[in-house]
Amino acid sequence: MIIAVASGKGGTGKTSVAVNLAISMKSVQLLDCDVEGPNAHIFLKPRIIRQEPVYRLVPSIKEERCDYCGKCAALCRYHAILVAPKKVLVFPELCRGCGACILACPQGAIVEGRNKIGTVKEGYSDDLRIVFGELEVGEPMASPLIREVKRRIDESRDAILDAPPGTGCPMIETVKGSDFCILVTEPTPFGLHDLKMAVKVLEEMKIPYGVVINKVGIGDKKVYEYCHEKGIPILLEIPYERRIAELYSRGIPFSLEISGWSAKFQDLFKNVKELMEG
């Protein structure tokens, strides 16, 4: 079973929920798909056993074969190639690595080059397996790296995916193929607005979901009203407490320090399983 933890709004507590859920369960794995700002490893301090660079395909032009016909530039949907009278320019930051230019070139003057986009690291924190990606600074495309992180899911055990914020391509790449999505929100107008956007995405993708409300005590009651109206299950509530915020700030999972929370996260996991089995 694959459970994604997503949110819409950033900073609502995705990583906190994913990390505390993972360490409360036996024999699960955690994959941090927020490759632009991976934070789960800060809390889990894994022993890294493997790290691999990830590349994406970019065109490499063999100018001696090129006759500057311009077919590649005309076909490229992302404007990543510019053909001047006697020069071809490639803009790797615009390239999506689709390879259309290679197919289009009548001279065979374009071959696959590669650009490093990041690193995937794999490690263990006690028995908990952790995989996370780190996007190179300056690299725009997170999705190919997220795919590489997800490719490392060990299918023999349950997986928890920590998603990036938002509802754009990196979030979709992460939740795609998940059996369930936990949406973490906070009871504020920003939290509610972005929760609704995330719900729309999940409904279109037909992924079942439930909500965890974090920072209970700040804001208002509108998130509750929305969940009740829509019949969305509220799976867990985490209060806004100085102690939790303080542990978070130091990079310590609060379920390790405050008694009772480990059991609550185990219940959360059980709830999710029951919801999925209907």
Partner 1 sequence: MKQITILSGKGGTGKTTIAAAFATLAKRVVVADCDVDAPNLHILLHPEVLEARDFTGSKMAVIDGTKCIKCLACREKCPFDAITQDIRVDPFSCEGCGVCKIVCPVDAITLVDRVSGRIYISRTKYGFMVHALLNPGEANSGRLVTMVRQYAKSLAEREGIDLIINDGPPGIGCPVIASVAGVDAGLVVTEPTMSGIYDLERAIGLLRHFNIGAFVCVNMYDVNEENTNKILKFCEEKGLEVIGRIPFNPLVAEAMVNGKTIIERSPESDVAREISAMWSRILSRLSPR
Q: List the interface residues with partner 1, window 218-247 (CB under 8 A).
A: 218-220, 245-246
Cα–Cα distance for residue pair 19/17, rounded to 1 Å: 6
Nearest approach, Cβ of residue 141 and partner 1 (Å): 6
Number of CB atoms found within 10 A of residue 224's CB = 16
Q: Which stretch binds partner 1 (CB under 8 A): 37-45, 47-55, 106-114, 154-162?
A: 37-45
Q: List the interface residues with partner 1, window 94-153 (CB under 8 A).
A: 96-100, 103-104, 135, 137-142
Q: List the interface residues with partner 1, window 65-104 (CB under 8 A).
A: 75, 77-78, 93, 96-100, 103-104
Cα–Cα distance for residue pair 79/249, rounded to 1 Å: 43
E strands present in 126-193: 128-135, 159-162, 180-185
Is there binding between residue 63 and partner 1 (CB under 8 A)? no
For 230, half-sphere exposure in the C-beta direction (CA atoms, 13 angstrom radius) is 18
Is there binding between residue 161 and partner 1 (CB under 8 A)? no
Q: Which stretch binds partner 1 (CB under 8 A): 22-30, 154-162, 164-172, 267-275?
A: 164-172
Secondary structure (DSSP) of 58-71: EEEE-TTT-----H
Cα–Cα distance for residue pair 33/146, rounded to 1 Å: 6
Number of CB atoms found within 10 A of residue 140's CB = 13
Rule CB under 8 A: choose which of 4, 73, 201, 236 binds partner 1: 201
Q: Which stretch binds partner 1 (CB under 8 A): 47-55, 122-130, 199-207, 262-270?
A: 199-207
For 22, half-sphere exposure in the C-beta direction (CA atoms, 13 angstrom radius) is 33
Footprint of partner 1 on this chain (CB under 8 A)? 8-12, 15, 34, 36-37, 39, 42-43, 75, 77-78, 93, 96-100, 103-104, 135, 137-142, 164-172, 176, 188-190, 193-194, 197, 200-201, 204-205, 218-220, 245-246, 248-251
